[in-house]
Amino acid sequence: MKSKIVWLLLFSLLCQRVQSLSPEEYLEIEEELRRLNKHAVKTIQTEYGDMYDCVDFYEQPAFDHPLLKNHSFHFGMRPSFRPERRTDQETWSASGIRSATIKRLDCPTGTVPIRRTSKEELIAAKMQVKVHARHSDPNTVEEHGLHIAIVRTEFGSLKKYNGGGMFSSVEVPKASGAQYSAGQMKIENIPDFIQAGWMVNPSLYSDNLTRGFIFQKMGKSSCFNVHCPGFILVRSDHPVDAIFEAHSHEGGPVYTYNYFIYRDPTSGVWWLELGEDSIVVGFWPRKIFSSPGLQDLATYLEWGGQTYGPPDVKSPPMGRGDFPTGDVKLTASCQAITTITEAHDQVPATDTQAYSDKEKHYSAMDRGYLKGPLQHVMFYGGPGGATGWI
């Protein structure tokens, strides 16, 4: 009986979402389903029940973008140059911080893993993307329900950046229904931005597990992961939306995951590296962005937490659900946060400030540069509970 009630509630929620979609958005969802359901060379079911199709590199959704019809990209592409990494992994391990991991997939060489997505998940994603993509001005909350607690570079500064990085603690905040809670890094040049991090998002993934995610806003087009043409995968074993096998919790180990996004000085594409081994997972082509925008260098970066909940529902917890204490063992954090200069040098982030749009519910703490493995570290979190503009 209890399970029937739960499913009725979920069905009611889905119906409300469907009613708020326009006819054009219905067509977009059908097109997304067609684009994501490519011919699979091999299909893999994970222990968590996810189905991944191993799709030929040249058949992946990114290449449905009209500006990528005549391209010279190929499987296994690598950057022409990589800013030097300045963090010693052995030092991290000695400090009690462990590397979070995902389970790799065994897709054949020359293919890339695309998670099978249901129509219900795409409807949920469409509703969330509307809100997520509009939050491009870090000084204002432009949409009900979206909240941040971050450390950011100076907004409106004349500085420009070729990327940035962080080691993010991997958390498992509680979220339900249409809520989500995330830890993320954002790189922006209005009107474009790209994000990478982890999130708990029940409506997008149909579970309450901590997964990786990317988000891209390319002019008027936006999406999570590979739901729209844009991000190009170059690895056969590392999906961008994989489930983390361990997460941080109070009294236990702190698990961190490396996120590194940088602009190629030769091609202008934006590369994404993930994990302890700095795996080159894929890239965003320069052509898909605006000019001015991320066809050029970034003008703004941020690191920290982000949550969303419908306006009539209390917002979910962020991080570990507590306000930051300044202790990595107790609080969600982004460690060794860096920027990539115009000269393509990776340096600790400077001239940063902490910001939260709902200080009664979430908070961010910028500790600046510390000696040792943490380097420039920020902390964030909060119990949530915000509704609408409150």
pLDDT of residue 25: 76
Mean pLDDT, residues 282-288 taken together: 98
pLDDT of residue 28: 79
pLDDT of residue 137: 53
Q: Of 171, 167, 138, 137, which Cα lies nearest the Cα of 355? A: 138
Mean pLDDT, residues 145-172 taken together: 94
Total-model pTM: 0.90
Query: For 365-380, how does the pLDDT look when each residue is reduced to its tens digit (9 = 90+)?
Result: 999 888 777 899 999 9
Measured at the alpha carbon of residue 214, what is the angle toward residues 208 and 217, in degrees to the nearest 5? 125
Residue 3 has pLDDT above 60, yes or no: no
Categorize the per-residue pLDDT at 389 as very low, low, confident or very high, splitting at 50, 70 and 90: low
Mean pLDDT, residues 158-183 taken together: 96
The CA distance from 347 to 67, in Å, is 34
Cβ neighbourhood burial of 120 (10 Å; 0-12, 13-18, 19+): middle
Q: And the tokens for 256? A: 């961190």
What is the DSSP secondary structure assignment for residue 357, as one 8-state letter? S
Measured at the alpha carbon of residue 212, what is the angle toward residues 319 and 386, in degrees to the nearest 5? 35
List of residues 6+ apart from 370 with CB closer than 8 A? 376, 377
Phi and psi of 18, rounded to 5°? -60, -40
Lowest-confidence pick of 126-135, 139-148, 182-191: 139-148
Query: For 172-230, how does the pLDDT look when each residue is reduced to its tens digit (9 = 90+)?
Result: 999 999 999 999 999 999 999 999 999 999 999 999 999 999 999 998 899 999 988 99
Residue 47 has pLDDT above 70, yes or no: yes
CB–CB of 297/157 below 8 Å?
A: no
Mean pLDDT, residues 66-92 taken together: 81
The CA distance from 371 to 174, in Å, is 33
Sequence ranges of the domains in the chain = 18-381
